[in-house]
């Protein structure tokens, strides 16, 4: 090869290839498009937050009103041969099915999209209430107001719960608090409304009116909900068993399980407890309504201060307070005024799990693992949510009074707070380790260091 040929060969080797450059540029653009932009912390996110809040009010709010239906079922023996435990199981079954359907709801969102999945859930939820209005046997109620309502609510709730985190970062807990507060407002309205409709129109028409109103409102609001990252913002699998090997994630599961054991006892038992201490039906309906009013007021406040002092700190503190209030105020609530006080004060702090669990989960496992982390959390809550109220009512039946159920409620909330305290120690230790690594220092480990982290004040 001559020198000129070698020069031309070297020139061709270094000469840019337009086709390869275009392909590389296209790949780079696709990768950049796949990266999510930072949450806007506002804008249309507030419209999404309001829509999710209203949907929560017309799903979880209606479910919360089951305490009024439960009181009516127990007082009037509506279905022959039914037991108090069976009536209690209907409300718990709806919650259990809500959580049990979560993996299928996550897959449905990925295959069909968020909006179609939620629309199907709204339809099934409304159909379930109509079917319950025609129930003549106890098993009819299990299938309708129990299982089918829970499936419909799960298809509405699971896709909507992670949407707020897509729109907010710095104000994520506040936005979650506002969205979840919708359940409190709905519970307030529907607890009072259901009691009035049952007394004036009858059980059947109360269920049919709830069905119609919830269907119209839910459909309208679901059409306004938008996501930012495609179907769910993540292509993660619905389940990620690898998370179960992480102690910090197991602490979140334990926190949720203990919280649900206590939360649904409060939600479904207070109306019947009001009957037990001699209050009339209208007064009994007011108590769960005030519990939900407390949650409606408390949840946005919890979200606001969670952004200030940290979600883990807020979850640990208010869960502990819920347990203390149950063991002090509720145990001594023998009059209408004291029970009103407990409903308002206890309701203000009792909803802390729903406000903080998504931000805490995002902090611990990361946004990329949030869908699978939440799905597995909902599955872990199936058993405690399903059997919480039956356990409490069985304690009442066996002991002849409510003191056992009250002690059970307070102690499981305290156990949930302990789980958050341990998670808090882990989070502070992680921050300390990162700071030590950045400063090229050696981090002192061991049980002593962990206990020091648990007691140390820090925003987490």
d(CA 302, CA 10): 68
Residue 1 in 3-state DSSP?
Answer: coil
In a domain, 24, yes or no: no
pLDDT (tens place) for every residue of the chain, 460 residues total? 555 555 555 444 444 454 444 444 443 444 444 445 677 777 888 999 999 999 999 999 999 888 889 888 888 888 888 888 888 889 889 999 999 998 899 889 888 989 999 999 999 999 999 999 999 899 999 999 999 999 999 999 988 877 887 888 778 778 878 888 898 899 889 988 998 999 899 999 999 999 999 999 999 999 999 887 654 444 445 678 889 999 999 999 999 999 999 999 998 888 889 888 988 878 888 888 899 899 888 888 888 888 888 899 999 999 999 999 999 999 999 999 999 999 999 999 998 998 888 889 988 888 778 878 888 999 999 999 989 988 998 898 888 889 999 999 999 999 999 999 999 989 888 877 777 766 666 656 666 666 766 777 777 7
The span from the first CA to the last CA of the chain, in angstroms, equals 70
In a domain, 347, yes or no: yes
In a domain, 225, yes or no: yes
Nearest alpha carbon to residue 181 among 49, 296, 344: 296
Domain count, the chain: 1
Count of residues making up the chain:
460
Domain that holds residue 82: 39-455
Nearest alpha carbon to residue 363 among 436, 266, 460: 460
| 378 within 8 A of 221, measured Cβ to Cβ | no
Question: DSSP assignment, residue 239?
Answer: -
| 302 within 8 A of 352, measured Cβ to Cβ | yes
Question: DSSP assignment, residue 444?
Answer: P
| 281 within 8 A of 331, measured Cβ to Cβ | no
In a domain, 18, yes or no: no
Nearest alpha carbon to residue 271 among 290, 285, 261: 285
In a domain, 432, yes or no: yes
d(CA 223, CA 338): 43
CB atoms under 10 Å from CB of 414, counted, come to 18
d(CA 399, CA 306): 39
How much of the chain is helix, strand and coil, in % rounded to 5? 80, 0, 20
d(CA 8, CA 2): 10
Measured CA distances, 401 to 77, 154, 266, 404, 412 (Å): 20, 34, 16, 7, 19
Question: DSSP assignment, residue 38?
Answer: P
| 160 within 8 A of 48, measured Cβ to Cβ | no
CATH no. for residue 188?
1.20.1250.20
d(CA 434, CA 199): 61
Say what the pLDDT of residue 363 is.
Answer: 86
d(CA 375, CA 108): 13
- Look up residue 224 and give its two tokens: 């306004």
- Look up residue 55 and give its two tokens: 């949907």
In a domain, 423, yes or no: yes
| Strands in 135-243 per DSSP E | none
In a domain, 218, yes or no: yes
| 322 within 8 A of 350, measured Cβ to Cβ | yes
Say what the pLDDT of residue 168 is.
Answer: 82
Nearest alpha carbon to residue 331 among 317, 341, 319: 341
| 333 within 8 A of 342, measured Cβ to Cβ | yes
In a domain, 27, yes or no: no
pTM of the full structure: 0.79
d(CA 225, CA 160): 9
Say what the pLDDT of residue 341 is.
Answer: 95
């Amino acid at each position: 090869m001559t020198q000129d040929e070698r020069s031309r060969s070297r020139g061709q080797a270094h000469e840019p290839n337009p086709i390869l450059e275009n392909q590389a540029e296209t790949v780079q653009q696709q990768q950049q498009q796949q990266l999510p932009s930072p949450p806007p912390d506002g804008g249309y996110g507030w419209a999404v937050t309001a829509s999710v809040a209203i949907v929560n009010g017309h799903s979880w709010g209606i479910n919360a009103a089951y305490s009024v239906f439960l009181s009516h079922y127990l007082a009037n023996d509506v279905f022959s041969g039914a037991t108090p435990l069976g009536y209690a199981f209907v409300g718990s079954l709806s919650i259990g099915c809500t959580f049990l359907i979560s993996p299928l709801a996550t897959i449905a969102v990925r295959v069909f999209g968020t909006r179609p999945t939620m629309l199907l859930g709204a339809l099934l939820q409304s159909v379930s209430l109509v079917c319950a209005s025609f129930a003549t046997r106890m098993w009819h109620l299990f299938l309708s107001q129990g299982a089918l309502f829970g499936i419909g609510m799960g298809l509405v709730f699971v896709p909507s719960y992670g949407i707020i985190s897509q729109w907010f970062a710095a104000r994520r807990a506040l936005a979650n608090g506002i969205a979840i507060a919708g359940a409190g407002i709905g519970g307030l309205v529907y607890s009072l409304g259901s009691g009035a409709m049952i007394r004036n129109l009858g059980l059947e028409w109360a269920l049919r009116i709830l069905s119609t109103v919830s269907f119209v409102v839910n459909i309208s609001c679901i059409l306004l909900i938008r996501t930012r990252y495609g179907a769910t913002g993540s292509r993660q699998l619905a389940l990620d068993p690898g998370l179960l090997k992480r102690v910090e994630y197991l602490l979140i599961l334990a926190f949720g399980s203990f919280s649900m054991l206590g939360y649904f006892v409060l939600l479904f038992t207070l109306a019947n407890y009001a009957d037990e201490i001699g209050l009339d039906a209208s007064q009994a309906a007011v108590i769960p309504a005030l519990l939900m009013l407390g949650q409606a007021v408390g949840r946005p406040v919890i979200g606001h201060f969670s952004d200030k002092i940290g979600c883990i700190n807020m979850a640990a503190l208010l869960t502990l307070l819920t347990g203390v209030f149950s063991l002090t105020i509720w145990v001594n609530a023998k009059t209408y005024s004291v029970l009103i006080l407990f409903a308002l004060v206890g309701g203000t702090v009792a909803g802390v799990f729903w406000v903080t669990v998504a931000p805490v989960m995002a902090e611990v496992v990361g946004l990329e693992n949030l869908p699978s982390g939440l799905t597995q959390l909902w599955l872990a809550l199936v058993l405690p949510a399903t059997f919480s109220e039956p356990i409490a009512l069985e304690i009442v039946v066996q002991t002849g009074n409510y003191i056992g159920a009250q002690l059970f409620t307070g102690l499981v909330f305290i156990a949930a707070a302990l789980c958050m305290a341990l998670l808090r120690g882990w989070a502070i230790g992680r921050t300390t380790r990162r700071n030590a690594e950045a400063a090229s220092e050696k981090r002192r480990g061991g049980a002593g260091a962990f206990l020091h982290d648990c007691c140390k004040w820090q925003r987490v």
